Amino acid sequence: MLNKNNRIFALGIFLMLALNVYAQNNTSSPYSMFGIGELSNESFGRSMAMGDVSSSLYSPFHLNPGNPASYMALGPNSFVFEVGATAKYLMLETPTDKYKDFGANFSYLSIGFPVVKWWKSGIGLKPFSSIGYDIKQTATIEFDDTEIVNTYYGEGGISSFYFDNSFKILKTLSVGFKLSYLFGPLINSKMSTSANENSIAIIDEKDKANISSFSYKTGIHFHKNLSENVFLSIGATYGIASDLKAEHQLLATNVVSRVNGYFIDTLKNEIAPTSVLQIPESYSAGASVLLNRKFELAVDYSKSKWSESMYFGEDQLLSDQEKFAFGIEYMPDFMSISYLKTVRYRLGANFAKSYLLYQGTQLNKYNVSFGMGLPIKRSASIVNFAVSYGKRYIPGSDILTEDYFQFQLNLSLQSIWFKKRVWQ
């Protein structure tokens, strides 16, 4: 049973981790300089190892925020707390250079619990998008030996604090609704420095948007035992197009230094408090089959219509994002006294077309993953590991290629949320 002191402790851990998740920078990719940054997926530990499938997954042991209707799988008195940490080794390559980077951070946290028998809920915090890049370009003008250095720098991102609700409609059918509060800064800067023996000139430009608004998503889930040994799950979601309000500031300054003095000039200082950033409609659909309580096969498709989105009134020439995912989970014998036979072994892969375009060509990305779910003895809690390899590239071009290895640790901790005492 989760007593009062344990609930307070769990809430304290949730709040501390929430501050940690919000404060982190989750990418170092140059591609994050476009649009609203590098988009995050909604996968937790189990889904991550199964190729990011999510629409149809249905489990009393794991939370699945990818489909808000899936929380109906939680037990009548169960309380599930999940937290995830991610480490990423990134390798960037251009025709002239190579770059490597390693980073690790907490990636999400969430809780799931029943409200009443026909209503289950979840609350969590996770990244929605991330910006993190630092690019430098240099050139020399031969006429007067002026050296020009352009530095592009970006940081921040959008975080999502969400509230999921799942409602039982029929014995085999549930619907869900996700309310997300999206917030955080999007900061993109450019500094141009030109210098020769006579003068130094610096133009510093900063584009900063503070996001603060809501978005909405619905889901539906069908789940049924087709026979004693076959369990079918079908899920689908629809994300409603949303206008995110933001305070948008554009600031540009010019500093010139010569031997006889220097001057500073403000070239631009504009604040538009009612700017709007558009999040497009999205949808997903998937199905999974569980055989003999041992082998589960899942497939998933998702699409977001970014080609219809505007970035503060400007068309950034984005494209629709699509993803095809496939995943497998195998557990030899959930009733066995042998620990290894109760371990969940997972494998998955996905292929995605990014919402980013380069000279009219859509970026592609593929990912393969492997993982395990290690049960904690004498409890329903599980420790999940996932390792994945991915590649993002521009078809037909080698201007910038990303390869990465990603490691994720997820704790899915389960306890009793409420149990009526029996007095004797």
Give domain status of residue 29, yes or no: yes
Beta bridge partners of 146: 141
275 three-class SS: strand
Residue scoring higher pLDDT (360 or 83): 83
Token reading at 419: 């149990």
pTM equals 0.85
Give domain status of residue 313, yes or no: yes
Please say whether the beta carbons of 68 and 238 come within 8 A: no
- Distance CA(416)–CA(411), nearest Å, equals 16
Predicted pLDDT at 261: 66
Predicted pLDDT at 2: 46
- Distance CA(101)–CA(213), nearest Å, equals 33
pLDDT at residue 24 tops 70: no
pLDDT at residue 295 tops 50: yes
- Provide the residue range defining the domain that includes 378: 4-416
> What is the per-residue pLDDT across 62-103, written as a single tens digit (0 to 9) for each?
999 999 999 999 988 888 999 999 999 999 888 888 888 888
Smallest Cα–Cα separation from 375: which of 361, 387, 385? 385
Please state the rounded mean pLDDT for residues 117-122. 94
**What are the b/e assignments for 41-71, b being 16+ CB within 10 Å?**
bbbbbbbbbbbbbbbbbbbebbbbbbbbbbb
Predicted pLDDT at 273: 64
Give domain status of residue 150, yes or no: yes
pLDDT-based confidence at residue 259 (cuts at 50, 70, 90): low
pLDDT at residue 121 tops 90: yes
Please state the rounded mean pLDDT for residues 40-61. 90
Predicted pLDDT at 368: 97
Burial class (CB in 10 A: 0-12, 13-18, 19+), 414: buried
Other CB atoms within 10 Å distance of the CB of residue 110: 22
Give domain status of residue 422, yes or no: no
- Distance CA(394)–CA(402), nearest Å, equals 10
DSSP string, 206-231: EEEEEEEEEEEEEEEEEEEEEETTEE
Please state the rounded mean pLDDT for residues 396-414. 89
pLDDT at residue 16 tops 60: no
Give domain status of residue 424, yes or no: no
Beta bridge partners of 246: 211, 275
> What is the per-residue pLDDT across 237-247, written as a single tens digit (0 to 9) for each?
999 998 888 88
Predicted pLDDT at 398: 81
Residue type, 336: S
CATH code where residue 219 lies: 2.40.160.60
Counting the structural domains of the chain, the total is 1
Please say whether the beta carbons of 22 and 159 come within 8 A: yes
Residue scoring higher pLDDT (403 or 146): 403
pLDDT at residue 26 tops 80: no
Give domain status of residue 423, yes or no: no
